């Protein structure tokens, strides 16, 4: 680990240990992207870490798991937890949402943790003989920018509550862009003809 990372961990440890009563507590809300609707029963994993000196890697371990209430709120304190030099939210899980699996630093109270809801796009690209063109390249932003040539049909699980762009390019025409809104927890059927 680089010396700057150790400096960050030392500062983080000092910030956490400076609570007035010596006990760290966190609280916040888990909400859905865009609508900011509270998410009940989201599972939050708390992990702890022990710094092992400047030249040794940090040891991290599971500390606790908690769930949000019906208003999407969560609260946790380290009063009964295994002692650690620092604590983090290690992951957030909820069915129907994309999980957060990278650690979220805890500095005390957090405002919101935002989860992206699932949505499904049923995309059908059809070679229509009434349209003159010699090939079609469909480039959709949700397929990591990769292009697909010719006809295809696919169902993709992607992040809901947002617009996505589907680019259609033929050799005889300039690019066309279809912008479509993906409702959360639903399947949208979209067809492209070339």
Q: Give the span between the Cα atoms of 139 and 177, in whole angstroms.
A: 9
pLDDT of residue 111: 72
pLDDT band of 100, cuts 50, 70, 90: very high
Residues 49 and 107 occupy one common structural domain: yes
CATH number, residue 11: 2.60.40.10
pTM over 0.85: no
Cβ pair 110, 88 in contact under 8 A: no
45 within 8 A of 95, measured Cβ to Cβ: no
Asked if 60 and 51 touch (Cβ cutoff 8 Å), the reply is no
d(CA 49, CA 69): 27
Q: Of 57, 42, 172, 16, give the one whose Cα is nearest residue 117.
A: 42
Expressed as residue numbers, the domain containing 17 is 3-115
**Contact predicate 166/178, CB 8 Å:** yes
User: Residue 162's domain is classified under what CATH number?
Assistant: 2.60.40
**Tens of pLDDT, residues 25-52:** 888 999 999 889 999 999 999 998 899 8
């Amino acid at each position: 680990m680089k010396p700057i990372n150790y400096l960050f961990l030392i500062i983080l440890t000092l910030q956490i240990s400076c609570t007035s009563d010596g006990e760290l507590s966190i609280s916040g809300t888990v909400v859905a992207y865009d609508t900011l609707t509270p998410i009940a029963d989201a599972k939050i994993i708390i992990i702890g870490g022990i710094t092992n000196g400047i030249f040794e890697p940090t040891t991290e371990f599971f500390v606790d798991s908690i769930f949000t209430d019906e208003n999407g709120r969560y609260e946790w304190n380290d009063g009964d937890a295994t002692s650690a030099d620092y604590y983090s939210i290690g992951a957030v899980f909820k069915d129907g949402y994309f999980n957060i699996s990278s650690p979220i630093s805890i500095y005390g109270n957090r405002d919101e943790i935002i989860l992206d809801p699932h949505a499904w796009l049923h995309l059908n690209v059809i070679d229509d003989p009434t349209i003159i063109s010699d090939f079609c390249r469909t480039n959709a932003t949700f397929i990591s920018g990769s292009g697909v040539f010719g006809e295809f049909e696919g169902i993709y699980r992607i992040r809901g509550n947002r617009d996505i762009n589907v680019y259609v390019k033929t050799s005889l025409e300039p690019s066309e862009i279809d912008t479509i809104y993906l409702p959360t927890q639903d399947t949208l059927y979209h067809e492209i003809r070339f």
